[in-house]
Amino acid sequence: MTPDVAWLVILGSGYRGALAKLSADTVDAVRELYLVSLRDDGVTELDATTLIGSGYRS
């Protein structure tokens, strides 16, 4: 996962609304801290699998 993709995950989530309330400089700082934390923790992949179930009542 590249840094650009990692940031796109955030921008495509509910966090986008929170970021919209921040100044551009603050968003840049958040982005940098987020990407540094991923790198420091050795995160290289994102498991985005989901489990969807359905049912019906009789």
The residue segments making up the domain with residue 25 are 1-58
Q: b/e string for 15-35 if b means 16 or more Cβ within 10 A?
A: eeeeeeeeeeeeeeebbeebb
pTM of the predicted model, to two decimals?
0.75
Percentage of the chain beyond pLDDT 90 is 72
Number of domains observed in the structure of the chain: 1
Q: How far apart are CA 10 and CA 48, in angstroms?
A: 13
Q: What is the pLDDT of residues 17-29, one digit of tens each?
A: 999 999 999 999 9
Q: How far apart are CA 11 and CA 17, in angstroms?
A: 9
